Structure 1
């Protein structure tokens, strides 16, 4: 079976879970997978070995500034003519199946040419009734129209009573002897200089990713370049994590049982919805701004974090895809949630049943 697998490369989370799926799909020699990435400049992609000779398209992405989504700049940056050309020129008929991790070129090409396309990713959980910001129906509609598919497999930290799957989380490294000595910070959507200045006021050690390396920093701050392996080890060794409300990093942090301080990217529907879910599930502390006062208050009263063990969702999806994607998603969802530890409850609060039934 020939599969075209499109990945939205704007965020590292999409690529991270796609790496896990790619390794599983390689176990099935009957599958021929062509990967396509869009939404980020090709030269800014890194650690792409699992995807072989992947395709790249410009696609569409969102523009942010000063911790907010900039709708006007987003619309201005879209090259609609190029996008339409990429959609029309994609050789979609050469493939038996299209899969989209919220990637618009593949999704729209499949939709227009009536090719079977399955959406697999966190954004497809929004097809169901889950926590979302109030009075933002227009943003919700845009999110659902960005990379549309008739069939979808949504991913989330809780099923919310729907046929949603748990997150795809790659195996995490074991903390080493230096663990618990730093706070990991990943805030790529914040204005970096004010953010670093606020962290410099605190008496804690911070390892910061997602900001330019050339920026001057205080002695308690270390800026590191993008690297999947180094980031994962620093995450495993961290005492706590400060981040925006992107889905994948939060899932990885919950596996490690680290306390989380999260600030959603303002005016970005998905991150605001994630923040709402975090609060309702009581999985993290959500704040409206990152400054020295907020961070100090949180670190001085650091909560006991919940450690969640997700099953190998990537392996289950690899098997599901290789079998022709015929098993109903509700069955697959039920099978996987039964393996989650601690056991998720049917309601939202408490989200997880720590004591055995």
Structure 2
């Protein structure tokens, strides 16, 4: 059986999950990998047959999406050409993790495409949403990468086709430690902005993982690290708590490790608003924004006994 596994390459979560799923797919057939998007720091440890610009959303520096940069990077005519030309008819099974080129190629050529990922979970009405729904964003979750059937992943089994997170082996089999530091991954904020805030919370040490950092740097109680899978995993496994965005993989791994968790919602990112609503119900501290005025809330979270 010939299998196409199409993966969204924006962010690190999709590729991290794919690395765990791929060995199981390879037990059932010949797997070709398609990755679109260009904003991930992780390399997939498998041969990628197809790479594509696709559609990527670029992070800003103050907690939101840089829409201008995202529009500059989008090439609509190239996208349409790639949709028309991609040979989805060569495959017996097409699995799609929120990847638009192959999803629309399947729609155009009347081929079945099965969604398999976190965004697929939002095809169920039972998945948590914020109190105020965004109708445009709801439609975007459905039509950005349209699929015929789906298997979703979320923090809990909200519906019969939604499963709990795929936790990578390096986390599952780790020896959990606590070494008096907090791990930070907030790629939508500039390094100097985060350092300024966390220097004020000097009761603890902070380890920030940054896309724009290329070597370890020290700023009083804050240490800046480049993003690597091994370095980030090591920091998170041994930390007291995790401060991150309201994405999916990192909060899921932090909760699996039973770490104290605080999430910051990314401005204008509806999926994170939905994740925040789910995490809030689970007792996780969530903030709508992050600035110097959050100093007391962060300190209160650090000193709290709850996860």
Deviation per CA, 1:126-168, whole angstroms, max 9, x where unpaired? 1112221313111110121111101111111112244311111
Q: How does 1:165-244 map to 2 (within 5 A)?
A: 165-171=163-169, 172=171, 173-175=173-175, 179-203=178-202, 204-213=204-213, 217-244=218-245
Q: Distance in 2 between matches of 1:244 and 1:46?
A: 17
Q: Indicate the residue corresponding to 2:274 in structure 1.
A: 273
Matched ranges for 1:240-319 at <5 A: 240-282=241-283, 284-290=284-290, 291=292, 292-303=295-306, 305=307
In 1, distance between residues paired with 2:248 and 2:288? 17
Equivalent residue of 2:268, what SS? coil
Contact kept, 8 Å, 2:4 with 2:32, in 1: the verdict is yes
1:67 maps onto 2:52 in alignment: no
Q: Secondary structure at the match of 1:224?
A: strand
How many residues are aligned here? 297
Q: 1:46 to 1:211 in 2, by over 3 A?
A: closer
Segments of structure 1 that go 5 or more residues without pairing to the other structure are 306-357
User: 1:53: Cα distance to partner?
Assistant: 3.9
Identify the residue that residue 128 of structure 2 maps to in structure 1: 131
Map 1:71-110; keep pairs closer than 5 Å: 71=67, 73-110=69-106
SS at match of 1:67: coil
- Is the strand fraction higher in 1 or 2? 2
CA distance in 2, matches of 1:98, 1:202: 48
TM-score (ref. length: structure 2): 0.90
Q: Report the more deviating stretch, 129-138 or 147-156.
A: 129-138
Following the alignment from structure 1 to structure 2, what is the Cα–Cα distance between the partners of residues 53 and 163?
28
Matched, 1:39 2:37: yes
Q: 2: distance between equivalents of 1:63 and 1:294?
A: 28
**Cα deviation code 1:238-289 (max 9, x no counterpart):** 100000001111111111000111011011010111001111222x100123
CA separation in 2, counterparts of 1:157 and 1:248? 9
**Helix, strand or coil: the match of 2:38?**
coil
Give how far 1:175 is off. Answer: 3.7
- SS of alignment partner, residue 197 of structure 1: helix
Query: Aligned residue for 2:146?
Result: 148
Q: 1:109 to 1:67 in 2, by over 3 A?
A: same
CA distance in 1, matches of 2:224, 2:7: 28
Root-mean-square deviation (Å): 1.9
Residues in 1 aligned to 2:24 and 2:18: alpha-carbon distance in whole angstroms: 10
Q: Which portions of structure 1, spanning 4 or more consecutive aligned residues, are displaced by more than 6 angstroms?
A: none
- How far is 1:116 from its partner? 1.7
**What SS does the aligned partner of 2:288 have?**
coil
